Amino acid sequence: MSTVATKTQDLAKMNPKDMSMEDAVELANKISFIEAGLKGLKDKLKLYVELNGPVEAGDLVWDKHPSYSWKFTPTNKKELSTMIAIEGLNPWEYLSFSAADLKKLGWSDNVLAQYAENKVSHSFRSKKKEN
């Protein structure tokens, strides 16, 4: 087995409490390398599927599976909220504003804070450094 593979296995088995910053940086770089390779592999498989159809691999089917969403016009949103109210329900318990929609308003966080609680979630991922 190569030294790189051995080092990767050693890092994968290492307790994070025992890692140095150098180990953590090396692990982060390896993850970025693997994710880039994985993206390339998925792109190739996606093209194969587009040209030849679904691929069955064990109990998985690789294909372009549909995902569904609903797009409402402003008028239809109003009519839907009316129908919810007619059902005896509070429409505002079902309707929400996306972060993108709120951003389009151009209102500051201070203004929005008068009407809503700001919920912050954290996802573990990498992103480009801000300069």
Rounded Cα distance between 74 and 80, Å, is 10
Task: State yes or no: pLDDT of 7 exceeds 90.
Answer: no
Neighbouring C-alpha atoms within 13 Å toward the C-beta of 44 = 6
pTM flag (> 0.75)? no
Q: What is the pLDDT of residue 128?
A: 87
Chain centre distance of CA 74? 27
d(CA 110, CA 96): 19
Across the range 67-90, mean pLDDT stands at 96
100 pLDDT exceeds 70?
yes
77 or 10: which leads in pLDDT = 77
Share of the chain above pLDDT 70, in %: 93
